[in-house]
Chains A and B, each alone.
Chain A
Amino acid sequence: MSQELFESMAQSIIDGDSDVAVELANKAIAAGVDPLAAITDGFVRGVNQVGESFARGEAFLPELVMAGEAMKAAVATLEPEMQKRGTQRQMLGKVVLATVEGDIHEIGKTLVGTMLSASGFEVSDMGVDVSAAKILAKVKEVGADLVGLSALLTTTMVKQKEVIDVLDKEGLRRKVKVMVGGAPVTREWVQKIEADGYSEDAIGAVAVAKQLVGAA
């Protein structure tokens, strides 16, 4: 029964169907299925499959995002049961995400957040137009392993450097890795501001994040 259920779970993610994913998560709880196994052997396989198919150019962005949303909904349904059992999902790392100060472009950052979250990272998405000071406070608050900084404008990308400087000043630079992204960001820029990682798209960002936390 479990195997069949796991396959349906993976399929619900591939279909991007949050309602079905939640229904299957509840079904698993009722049947006494280990919620961790439901995530790892069921839902995550769907996420991986959508990610691979996106990388091959077969899946499109909405499929990717809806898979991420369905994953989020399934995990949220399973969380109380995990707490009850005193277990928790092994996360790959804690990520603070933000679009830098002065920039209100959100979609790229949101996509990265969705994919990181679906891939097993604990993501704190701070939204847009976030100052370096606020990002620093959040990093300290959640004990972040990674910071992801988005900027769409050549005029705001300099703020990515400002965040790195602030982290450096606080002595957090060794512990906290910094990923940057956004249309104007290039490999040369990444080197110049001494960021740790960069990707041109959300799927690539997951691979970079995994590499930075040693989970690749």
Chain B
Amino acid sequence: MITERPAIEPIQTDFRLKFATDEQLDMLQEATLRILEEVGVKFPSEKTLRIFSEHGAHVDKDTQIVKIPRQLVMKALSTVPRYFKLGARDPACDLQLQENVTYFCSDGCGVETIDFETRQRRPSCKEDVGKMAHIADYLSAMSFSWPMVSAQDYGTTAPLHEMDASWNNTVKHVQSETIMGEKPCQYAVEMAKVLTGSAEELRRRPVFSLTVCTIAPLVQDKEGIEGALVLAEAGVPVGFLAMPTLGTTAPATLPGAYVVGDAEIISAIVLMQLAHPGAPVFHSMMHAWADPRSGNYISYSQNSGGRYIVVDMAHHWNIPSFGGAYGTDSPVAGNWQSAAEVALDPFLIGLAGAEFVTGMGLSNTYTLLYPESIILDADIYHRARYQLMRQDISPETLALEVIAAVGPGGHFLAQKHTRQHMRASLKPAINHEVGPDGKYRDPVEAARDKVAWIIKNYQPEPLEEAKRKELIRILSAADRELGGGRK
């Protein structure tokens, strides 16, 4: 068993690509402001309506629609921290959001698993969550971890059990995308305090964060938004992920979908800032299409550039962007579709400059886990990471003396310079593994073997026994109160 964890390798680049001009971003922002002022967003929560009302928003108690004047929007957004820290069990894995650095994590939250041993398709369980966190802990591509699948064997408290399984298997930051409601969020904060030791330390180095999905068009989820307020109060970063679907829950035009999603996100962020000014928040959007022939959900088409333009939109508001990458529609891992759909994502989201990004490893539109997919997606990630690095062009790398020494028609293999640089000059991909027959291995098989190798040979740093027991105690209390637990 090895315990040494490869260092986190985020995308670091000063290359930058804007997917919209400032004028276009102004138009998008103006449209969002008009939606917020004139159409409004539905907040089906007495508590949130009260907060909006107290701060001067126009609240219709019957329809639960809140219309927010632009001055109030801008005032609320002025307290959003541009950068903040994501803490981790191991402080060495803390992530400081910053310019020119993009941190990636695994995908979530799938509902089915291709069992790694039997290869049978089955409902996901808590053990899967732990196993994938274990793998994510080892992978340098994974700066932090999302519970990849639902702990369906734990019923209503599954989201808390997903956190438990994650914290027991990775020292990296964990972000939930499933904890909903005030009570579950309070339990999550209690659990996190076990890890950090105090509420103050949790605020300083939040060991978890939460992504809350909004409901398109222009509705907030009661449980989601009320839970988010609990976390914002505790200083735990909370972000809002809009998933407008063109043609059904959003206009059939991309900009129309962007502004519907943006209004959902901004209205939620305004609420957080009104209630808890300075709370760390983030902006996230993954649009999709309804197949016009069937209504089927399509997250990747040939014009999937909306995944990148939304990063510019977040930054235009001066809010950190949580980019949406990966999550192929392919029901099968390791085929052409699964690579082609996602291959540009880490590269272009890195160029767009998202501060952090989800998420590697799921198929069938974020629903199905093939454990080996995380290795294949991480391979694509590293390709982007290397391509976004500035190259070293210097006398040593220009090698003019060596070129002169070899001259026309010779070869460079016998040069000390070649020996010195050749090993590092090729960054081998998963398809460069050589099998016993001397031939390059099938990358999907190599990925499966890597999963097996990590599980067998790598031991993530275990959670201290006292903390592990305390988490179990809190979970038991949550199970009792909320009616969850092992089914």
Contact = CB atoms under 8 A, between A and B. Distances in A.
Interface of A: 16, 55, 57, 60-66, 69, 106-107, 110-111, 200-201, 204
Contacts of B415: 62
A10 B208 CA distance: 55
B413 A111 contact: yes
A59 to B, nearest CB: 9
A204 B434 CA distance: 15
A62 B413 contact: yes
Contacts of B438: 55, 200-201, 204
9 contacts: A55-B438, A64-B413, A66-B414, A106-B411, A107-B413, A110-B411, A200-B438, A201-B438, A204-B438
Interface string B397-430: 0000000000001011111101100110000000
B414 A69 contact: yes
Residue picked from B409, B412, B434, B438, most chain A C-beta under 10 Å: B438
Contacts of A106: 409, 411
Nearest to B418: A62
Interface of B: 409, 411-416, 418-419, 422-423, 434, 438
A149 to B, nearest CB: 19
Given A66-B416, A200-B438, A60 B422 contact: yes
A64 B423 CA distance: 12
Nearest to B415: A62
A64 B413 CA distance: 9
A42 to B, nearest CB: 21
B413 A65 contact: yes
A61 B438 CA distance: 15
Contact of B419 (A63, A110, A200): A63
A182 to B, nearest CB: 16
A16 B434 CA distance: 24
A60 B412 CA distance: 13
Nearest to B426: A60
Contacts of B416: 16, 66
Contacts of B411: 106-107, 110
Nearest to A56: B434
Nearest to A204: B438
Given A16-B419, A60-B422, A61-B422, 4 more contacts: A66-B413, A66-B414, A106-B409, A204-B438
A62 B419 contact: yes
A46 to B, nearest CB: 15
Nearest to A128: B409
A60 B416 CA distance: 13
Q: Top 7 closest A-B pairs, CB basis?
A: A65-B413, A62-B419, A62-B418, A69-B414, A62-B422, A57-B434, A65-B414
A107 B438 CA distance: 20
Contacts of B423: 60
Nearest to B421: A62
A200 B437 CA distance: 11
A160 B168 CA distance: 63
A62 B414 contact: yes
A57 B434 CA distance: 7
Contacts of B418: 62
Interface centre among B411, B414, B418, B434 (most CB of A within 10 A): B414
B125 to A, nearest CB: 38
Nearest to A15: B419
Contacts of A16: 416, 419
Nearest to B423: A60
A63 B422 CA distance: 10
Given A16-B419, A66-B419, A61 B434 contact: no
A52 to B, nearest CB: 13
A107 B412 CA distance: 9
A7 B213 CA distance: 66
Nearest to A111: B413
A108 B147 CA distance: 49
From B412, B413, B419, B438, residue with most partner A Cβ within 10 Å? B413
A62 B418 CA distance: 6
Nearest to A64: B413
Nearest to B412: A62
A60 B415 CA distance: 13
A69 B411 CA distance: 13
Contacts of B412: 62
A142 B311 CA distance: 71
B439 to A, nearest CB: 9
A63 to B, nearest CB: 6
Nearest to A72: B414
Contacts of A66: 413-414, 416, 419
B377 to A, nearest CB: 24
